Amino acid sequence: MSEEKHKIRVGLIFGGRSAEHEVSLNSAKSVAAALDPEKYDITLIGITLEGNWLYLGERGTSEVNPARLMAEATVGALPVTIVGDPTVNGLATIEQTATGLAVSPGKTLTSGLDVVIPVLHGPYGEDGTLQGLLEMANVPYVGPGVLASAVGMDKVAQRELFRSAGISVIDYVAFKRRDWDKPEKKASILAELEEKIGYPCFVKPVNMGSSVGIGRATDKSELTNAIDNAARYDRKIMVEKGVRPRELEVAVLGNDEPIASVVGELAHSAEFYDYKAKYIDSQGMQFFIPAQIPEELSDRIRTLAIKAYLTLDCAGMTRVDFFQDKDSGQLFLNEVNTIPGFTSLSMYPMMWEASGLSYPQLVDRLVELAIERHADKNRNEVKPG
């Protein structure tokens, strides 16, 4: 009798201390359903909006409903953490004792983790913080590393790197919330924005995704209100020149030799693609996959997407978003998303589906890439000489 094949132990982390918490729950449900139960065992780790890590058990892939599990976990769920100690191999429980909190590696948990799939969008998950913890713990994980994740979250930092690489981005001005809060500086910020950016313009929190906190302004009053709203989500705000764009996206997959999917186009009836249009009211959205664009433009976008991916030293996956100005025809790189959405409305898996890679095959490949990159990293010498 042949020995039973070892299943890969996947830690699926979802939720998070972010305005994109609900998006994460939806993405995690889709990812779990795509994991083949013959290949994988899933350990579920939910992070509440308050930042509490909860062990939600080990289940078959078809049984996972992250939103329901999180709702039911308010009482009795086992607090856990990932310890930055490579000997622990992932999860450790946290217990309240007479003298404080005690961490017990592996206690009451059936196994360690072979790989982690972080399905966390926004701060404290997509921004390099979780990736740094997983690096310390020496646990393989899906998606880009610390540097690419951090820069990919910061809309200003990534634009500066893209500019240095010769990739066009839309003109913008960035400033800090603390300066906006000072009446004597607010007037000068508004004056600079009207001089350099003008109207219409778009206001964005620098470190936020899923179109959270984005606003469009056509006059000073709207601009002031949009900045006030964006400042709720981040300490850095950017204001970008308004264009009438075609929104073109491409999915990139791989480590040192990435490949790009077909180009997709997103069209919507909303004035702009905000959080509501993206995840709540999808009636006005249309997806064109592949995008109905000339082959030359498609090839150029795919080439630029891979260039951007390598510029940030991405790994595993990233979605790269472009704007083509409908008036001038000029192409701009809008942003990258290092943990793109994986919901039923998400472009990343749909673009790979149109490229011949099914959702389950995509998840399989992402796990393979995580393990390959981890093995390559472990080739590095840690002792001098």
Catalytic residues: 20, 210, 346
- C-alpha span between 237 and 126 (Å, rounded): 18
Q: Which two tokens stand for residue 258?
A: 């990435």
Q: Is there a binding annotation on residue 210?
A: yes
Query: What are the φ/ψ torsions at residue 260 (nearest 5 degrees)?
Result: -115, 145
* Residue 331 DSSP code: E
3-state secondary structure 38-91: CCEEEEEEEECCCCCEEEEEEECHHHCCHHHHHHHCCCCCEEEEECCCCCCCCE
Q: Which two tokens stand for residue 193?
A: 């924005």
Q: Is there a binding annotation on residue 212?
A: no
Q: Is there a binding annotation on residue 207?
A: no
Q: Is there a binding annotation on residue 29?
A: no
Please check whether residue 87 is in contact with residue 78, taking contact to mean a CB–CB distance below 8 angstroms. no
Q: Is there a binding annotation on residue 176?
A: no
Q: Is there a binding annotation on residue 323?
A: no
Q: Is there a binding annotation on residue 383?
A: no
Q: What's at 65, amino acid-wise?
A: N
Q: Is there a binding annotation on residue 104?
A: no
Q: Is there a binding annotation on residue 246?
A: yes
Q: Is there a binding annotation on residue 243?
A: yes
Please, is 65 exposed, middle or buried when counting C-beta atoms within 10 Å of its C-beta (0-12, 13-18, 19+)? middle
- Kindly report the CA angle at 136 between 130 and 141, in degrees rounded to 5? 55
Radius of gyration of the chain (CA): 22
- Alpha-carbon distances of 272 from 188, 214, 225, 247, 266, rounded to whole Å: 27, 9, 16, 11, 11
Q: Is there a binding annotation on residue 211?
A: yes
Q: Is there a binding annotation on residue 5?
A: no
Please check whether residue 241 is in contact with residue 172, taking contact to mean a CB–CB distance below 8 angstroms. yes
- Kindly report the CA angle at 299 between 298 and 305, in degrees rounded to 5? 90
Q: Is there a binding annotation on residue 337?
A: yes
Q: Is there a binding annotation on residue 340?
A: no
Q: Is there a binding annotation on residue 241?
A: yes
Q: Which two tokens stand for residue 287?
A: 């997806």
Q: Is there a binding annotation on residue 143?
A: no
- C-alpha span between 226 and 218 (Å, rounded): 10
- Residues belonging to the binding site for ATP are 155, 202-204, 210-211, 240-247, 334-335
- Output the known binding site for Mg(2+): 321, 335, 337
Residues within the annotated binding site?
Answer: 155, 202-204, 210-211, 240-247, 321, 334-335, 337
